[in-house]
Amino acid sequence: MNRRALLTAAAGFCAAPALAQQSSLPPLKSAAPWPLGTCARVLQFDDPQWVALATTHFSRLTPEWEMKMEYVLLPDGSLRLDRADQIVNFARAHGMAVHGHTLVWYAEDGVYFRKLTGDAFRKAYAAYIHGVVGRYRGTIKTWDVVNEPILDDGSALRDCLWTQQLGEDHVALALTAAHEADPDALLLINDYNLEYTPKKRATLLKLAERVLKAGAPLHGIGTQTHVAGDVPPGAIRSALRDIASLGLKIHVSEVDISRHEQRPVNAVEPRLDQLRVIDELVAAYHEVPAAQRLGTTFWGVRDPDSWLNNGHEKRLIPDEPLLFDRLGRPKPLARELVKALKA
């Protein structure tokens, strides 16, 4: 056997376990009785492994960053939706849905709005939402209209440009503008730590009730579920039960299960905590009435794709919060997810 043939055989032998692992995992989206999503960036469309994994295992994409105001809104008030279009076109080409994320976020308000006040601000606020939602009318069926409106301690709405200029009404205004732009879209408020911080959850649900009472078109709540293995047993179930009590749709919208927990329940093998968490998450979501289940979205495909391993969230020791490892192989967490989905 010549050297090239020998090397080719060896390479095939090395790749075999990973390929075998790949083939042993059924498409996750076919195991789930609800839509299964992941977040996406345009750059990832040039990564064949990401494309294969994302299109095989997920049925919905959430733009991770490129549909947000920080990228979309230019200083002169014009909208840059080239990459949002690319994500929508990629999803359409692969038979996937897109979850719109996000229109109004305390973390990004743009130079353009800071030059405005009063009626001009209010008109520009509605115009921005009309412009983005209107472009995808009939294509994007679900939106995170307002993202993370509640303070971490749950004491009140965040103090941000939107509340400074429009008060709490900015929430109802945003929902109304989105509904005007696409009356058929389902409109959500999305927040995090609703499992870790019951007070924050209660304050968010009170906001939702006030908005509904005011007649605003709110259809669902997104609970991001950025958790770690130390999330107290039962906390996710309690959160989903509370949220479901409003009768609205529930999107478990940004799941990752960090290994960087402060107090691992299973200090010996923290990875077992991750399995416990995914079991509880899926079992609790199964208990939500089917009509209210908008689906579950993982905040990334492979561990290196995770925001926890990039940007300001990056830590010294790489985190392992997602379903596939750095080589694109399904982890025990992915197999546990299949087991839990089919339970």
Positions marked catalytic: 148, 254
Q: Which is nearer to ligand XIL, 254 or 303 (CB)?
A: 254
- The pairing of strands 249-258 and 142-147 is unpaired
Residue reference for tokens 């919905």:
60
Q: Which is nearer to ligand XIL, 254 or 280 (CB)?
A: 254
Give the SS3 label for residue 303: helix
Least distance in angstroms from the C-beta of 225 to ligand XIL: 11
Which one-letter amino acid corresponds to residue 324? F
**For ligand XIL, which residue has the nearest CB?**
307
Q: Which is nearer to ligand XIL, 121 or 299 (CB)?
A: 299
Picking from 81, 167, 84, the residue whose alpha carbon sits closest to that of residue 121 is: 167
Q: Which is nearer to ligand XIL, 165 or 306 (CB)?
A: 306
Residue reference for tokens 């006030």:
210
Q: Return phi, psi of residue 92, to 5°.
A: -60, -40
Q: Which is nearer to ligand XIL, 6 or 107 (CB)?
A: 107
Least distance in angstroms from the C-beta of 2 to ligand XIL: 47
Binding site for ligand XIL (CB under 6 A): 64-65, 147, 192, 224, 254, 307, 311
Least distance in angstroms from the C-beta of 320 to ligand XIL: 16
- What is the rounded (10 degree) CA torsion for 227, 100, 309, 238? 0
Could you give the C-alpha distances from 164 to 117, 129, 167, 169, 216, in angstroms and in order?
Answer: 10, 18, 6, 10, 20
Neighbours of 265 (CB within 10 A): 15
Least distance in angstroms from the C-beta of 1 to ligand XIL: 48
Q: Return phi, psi of residue 8, to 5°.
A: -65, -40
Least distance in angstroms from the C-beta of 169 to ligand XIL: 22
Neighbours of 178 (CB within 10 A): 28
Rounded distance between C-alpha atoms, residue 105 and residue 119, angstroms: 20
